[in-house]
Amino acid sequence: MINPMMAARVYSSVQGGAMPTELTGATGGAGAAQGAGFSDLLQNVMGDLTQSTKAAETQMATSVQGKGSLIDVVTAVTSAEASLETVMAVRDQVIQAYQEIMRMPI
């Protein structure tokens, strides 16, 4: 679950600033390094979603041609659906964390 502190780290990395050491943890890494990891994570998740969706479409096409089994189609569609639900849940948590940050007094 994403909390306001995690969202603040991401925001800082996007802005190019370094977070204080108490926020970055024991490694003392800069906010830019944290941002690169977060963007890589998002790219990987979106790539996995795209790959599972394409696999489901391929299984459906194979089944329509009479060459695939219904079990493979259901498995591929269920996997794609789970990936989509995961991405939507992460999106909702990021939006919620952003809104929480915006409500914080200056």
pLDDT digits (tens, 9 = 90+) for 59-93: 888 888 888 888 888 888 898 898 888 888 888 99
Q: How many CB atoms within 10 Å of residue 52?
A: 19
How far apart CA 45 and CA 47 sit, in angstroms, is 5
pTM of the predicted model as reported, rounded to 2 decimal places: 0.56
Q: Are 68 and 62 contacting, i.e. CB atoms less than 8 angstroms apart?
A: yes
For residue 25, the SS3 value is coil
Q: Name the domain count of the chain.
A: 1
Q: Give the domain extent around 84.
A: 4-103
